[in-house]
Structure 1
Amino acid sequence: MSISTTGVLARPETAADPPAPRARRRWRPDLRRWISPIALIAVWQVASGTGVLPPDKLSSPWTVARAGAELVSDGELGSAFAVSITRVGAGFALGAVAGLLLGIVAGLSRWGEVLVDPPVQMLRTLPFLGLIPLFILWFGIGEEPKIALVSLGVAFPLYLNTHAGIRGVDGQLVEATTVLGFTRLERLWHVVLPGALPSVLVGLRQSLGLAWLALIVGETVNADAGLGYLINNAREFLRTDVIVVGLVVYAILGLVTDAVVRLIERRALRWRA
């Protein structure tokens, strides 16, 4: 009896040479992404210089830059930045722990999903402005209401993405670990959490964006320090240049934190390449 080998590539008897190591690509910023922001600033300056954009509506970029330099030189911007970053840090830590724990419980257990998911889904639809009076009654007018708002903004995206990431793990991989004799903890650590990590990092990026939005809401209502207070105080005196400086700082902080998470994502998910 003969076996046909038509269409089948024979394996060479000699061992193949090992593949050459792939050159590691160095990350370089894409300078083309600066084209549209610079163009918008140029149009803004031209519109302000020609009178199309009145200064009482929006100050020119040059005026905003001078106002920012003055705020930096007298230390007002630095102190406001320190207060705001402290609030975001505390709120993010609390919200991240709550969101991750609730997402893991709801993702790993059917009973956990039944008990945890309904109240979380109800709470995440509540508007921040509607919660402020209640938080003031509960926590007073100090730092606690602002930190609580940031925590809520952080917790919900992390919960949703962690829950979805765990439920989206390939079931065949889980079955394979059962055959190999993995314990529940080993299965969670080596398969479930790495499989859910891409979704968790997406939730982390969303959480940081909402953290700054929640902070803006909290600091513009009943605050005596921080970037939001700086903006609110400038509004009383019609200082649009100072308002724009505060908004620009918020935007830069949001971009920096997002870039940090993207760097973590690139390093933590190198196995996907």
Structure 2
Amino acid sequence: MGGALTAPAAVLAAAPGRRGAGRAAGGLALGLILPLGLAFGWEAVVALGWADDRLLPTPSRILATLAALAQSGELGPHVLATLQRVALGFLFGVAAGTLFGALSGYWPLARRLLDPTLQALRNIPSIAWVPLFILWFGIFETSKVTLIAVGVFFPIYLSLGAAILGVDRKLVEVGRSLRFSLREMITRILLPATLPSYLVALRAGLGLGWMFVVAAEFMGAEQGLGFLLVDGQQTGRPAVILASIVAFALLGKLSDSLLAALSARLLTWQDSFTPAK
């Protein structure tokens, strides 16, 4: 009898999880409609003879190229090299952006001292750093990781500094009236208030890291998806170029999805607005 009573309860407890999984699967299926529609459309246009696929290969040729590169063992080292550069650049950029963003947002003197220079540097195109970094660090990994870290740094610095400045003044005054220490002020007021903006900045910084890695791998790289892309251009293989671009898109989307899932877990306490479906 007890087992019969507990079974419905277990089913009810599992129902929200199943509904969440169902919504996630539905969202994924909906998001695939546009890319799959474009892919099938281009396949049909080429199959009907309305266009030539020499310069813009069909998705089937691109996937076949990716499969051939994977089977030959050529794709794996390129992917690992790019992932390592993005991961290291992201970590260094996040650390520096968090430090300088926190200083600029919390300490007015640091903001007046640092912000004008950093705002000017933020507008320099990524490719403009390449000759200088090659001169300073050579063409090896240090220059590549540094360039990626520069791209990651600025959105995090900007967003975190602005988020701290945007914290409700009444919350800070409550903390001061309760005689919070600096650690308590940060952990109990500033961190929860700035966390949503900071997590969005992390995703923006990660996206820029994937963009900057292409410029980084132009700097004498012998491995990496950027190198594979340039190799396809130099050897006149558009399928290899597009296969590299597809690999960048898939890896970037996967890493962003992982970061978005982590953000959702960290922000479960938020009572956020949910748009009508």
Shared fold, TM over 0.5: yes
Aligned to 2:79: 81
SS in 2 for 1:57: coil
Q: Hey, what does 1:236 align to over in structure 2? A: 234
1:37 corresponds to: 35
Deviation at 1:35, TM superposition (A): 1.1
Alignment correspondent of 2:93: 95
Task: Return the alpha-carbon distance in structure 1 between the equivalents of residues 257 and 118 of structure 2.
Answer: 28
CA RMSD of aligned residues (A): 1.6
TM-fit CA distance, 1:66: 1.1
User: C-alpha separation between the residues in 2 aligned to 1:53 and 1:125?
Assistant: 40
Do the aligned partners of 1:128 and 1:149 also contact (CA within 8 Å) in 2? yes
Sequence identity, in percent?
Answer: 36
State the distance in 1 between where 2:62 and 2:255 align: 23
Q: Which amino acid aligns with 2:62?
A: V
Match of 1:195 among 173, 193, 196: 193
Aligned mate of 2:132, from 134, 137, 159: 134
Q: Does 1:173 align with 2:193?
A: no
CA distance in 1, matches of 2:192, 2:155: 18
Partner residue of 1:64?
Answer: 62
Q: Residue 247 of structure 1 corresponds to which residue in structure 2?
A: 245
| Deviation per residue, 1:211-232 (Å, 9 max, x gap) | 0000011113422111111111
> 1:4 is matched with which residue?
none
Q: Count the aligned residue pairs.
A: 253
TM-fit CA distance, 1:260: 1.3
CA contact (8 A) 2:39 2:58 kept: no
Match of 2:9 in 1: none
- What are the ranges of 5 or more consecutive residues in structure 1 without an aligned counterpart? 1-20
Alignment of 1:117-156 (within 5 A): 117-156=115-154
Residue 20 of structure 2 is aligned with which of 22, 26, 29? 26
Report the CA distance between 1:73 and its aligned residue. Answer: 0.5
The aligned amino acid for 2:209 is A
CA distance in 1, matches of 2:62, 2:261: 31
- Greater per-residue helix proportion: 2
SS of 1:271's equivalent?
coil
| TM-score, normalised relative to structure 2 | 0.87
**Aligned ranges for residues 251-266 of structure 1 at < 5 Å?**
251-266=249-264
Query: For the Cα contact (< 8 Å) 1:135–1:145, is it kept in 2?
Result: yes
Q: Which amino acid aligns with 1:111?
A: L
Query: If you compute each CA radius of gyration, which structure gives the higher value, 1 or 2?
Result: 1
1:198 Cα deviation after fit: 0.7
